Amino acid sequence: MRLGAIVHRLVGDLAFVFPGQGSQIVGMGRAVYETSARAREVFDEADRTLGYDLSKVCFEGPSTELDDTAVAQPAVLATSVAILEALVEAVNEKLGHRATGGSDPRGVAALPLALRPRFVAGHSLGEFTALVAAGVLTFQEALRLVAERGRLAASRGAKGAMAAIVGLTADEVDRVIKDTLPFGHAVVANDNGPAQVTIAGDSESVARVSEALSQRGARKVIPLRISAPFHFPGMGRIGPELASFMRTLHFREPVVPIVANVSALPHASASAIPEALVHHLSQRVEWLRSVRFMAERGVSTFVEIGAGQVVNGLVKRIADAKLVNVSDPLSIAGALASLRERSATVGA
């Protein structure tokens, strides 16, 4: 279902969700770059800030470069923010709200009140996109942060691998890990749903426990396209350096609540977010609990904004909800068709 099919409803039942690392694919973001001025601004700002043509890597590859953690993290962030900004631009143009220049609000703050989501959340790396969407960090600040995070992970973080496990619960995978490996060599990194989790650890341990999981009932074991194991205790070694870097940034109070990966609850305040992002390096992503939290508080439509449909593929196994994917101009156009009918009732 497209966004245009549901925006006629009161949108207190909406959550915007954003994908993380692993969703990257060569060609992502190109279509919105070619059709949206605000999306072009995002990619152009990314190129200037990083000092290399991130946009070219997103649009043309090669995939080996795009999959490298130091590149993939800013690439996923930039693409998701560009698609969000293209959506915001299209909504406001249809409602006759024209941009006035560089002082215009960004993210969900630029949407009419009646179209703002109740919550935003990002899966793993996607939490940084949620921070931009909710106005906690500017895009440039978030881009610098994820670039530093990726650089630290690649240069001084834990080395290893990650794999998706389908067909077992987090508790079942935990038991197999404990039966197979010494403590701390691999962990459940993401609790993604009732029967899908991600494991992380050193490469040999991930391979050993993957084989054991296959023998203990896992339907699929899928190695992930990452070059460093996140949400793994060993990655915590870069936490102090990341915390030091974050002291150079300005964290603002969110426009809408951001459901945090580690706690599965909204961040309590802007001042608490840096510490949560340090824990985010080494602690489990509680996506199952996060989606349930939002659904239990009235969210009945999840709008995934970014490349692909990875996140809503997880949401559909957790909540009885409508799922919307916004990733290109065609899906954005679906929103405009319905907005045409209710533009007279949408508040500023």
- Known catalytic residues are 124, 231
Residues 6+ apart with CB under 8 A from 100: none
- Cα of first residue to Cα of last residue in the chain, in angstroms, is 26
Q: How far is CA 81 from CA 87, 273, 305, 307, in A?
A: 10, 19, 8, 11
The first and second tokens of residue 150, run together, are 């990726």
Do residues 201 and 186 touch, judged by C-beta distance below 8 A?
A: yes
Place of tokens 């921070």: 131
CA distances from 14 to 85, 167, 253, 306 (A): 17, 29, 20, 16
* DSSP characters over 254-315: PSS-BB-TTTSSB-S-GGGHHHHHHHHHHS-B-HHHHHHHHHHTT--EEEEESSSSHHHHHH
Q: 15: closest CA among 289, 295, 231?
A: 295
Q: Which of 329, 299, 298 is nearest to 312 (CA)?
A: 299
| Nearest partner of 225 among 307, 335, 145, judged by Cα | 307
SS3 state of residue 159: coil
Tokens encoding 175: 């038991």
Residue type, 323: L
The phi, psi pair for 16, rounded to 5°, reads: -95, 130
Q: Which uninterrupted H or E stretch holds 120?
A: strand 119-122
